[in-house]
Structure 1
Amino acid sequence: MLVLPGINFGSSGARNEQESNDHASPRHGKRILGAVASVWQAGRTYATFARTRHPQGSSFQNELKQRRQRSRKSAFHSVCNQLTEESMAEHSLAPGLLLAMPQMTDPNFARSVVLLCRHESDGAMGLVVNRPTDTLVASVVQFDPPLTEDRAGLRVWTGGPVEQQRAWLLLGFDPGEDDALPIAPGLYLSASARVLRHILEGGDEDRVREARFLVGYAGWAGGQLESELAASAWLTADVSKDLIFHTDAEVMWESAIRSLGIDPYALQLGTGVH
Structure 2
Amino acid sequence: MDESDRSSCANQARRQLSGNDRQHQVKAGHLDSFDSTTGLLDRKTFDARLTENFAAAQSENTPLGLIFVDVDRFKKVNDEQGHQKGDQILAEIARRLSACAKGKAMVYRYGGEELVIVLQNHDLNETVVFAERCRVALEREPMDGLSITASFGVSVFPNIASSCEHLIETADKAMYDAKNRGRNLVRYFGEPPPEPTAKTRVPARKPPEAGKLTEDQLREMRQLYFRHRVIECPNDGAYMRAFERNEVGKATTTVIAHCPQCGLQVEF
TM-score by length of 1: 0.23
CA radius of gyration, larger in: 1
Higher strand share: 1
Higher helix share: 2
Q: Which has the higher contact order (CA 8 A, sep 6+)?
A: 1
TM-score by length of 2: 0.24
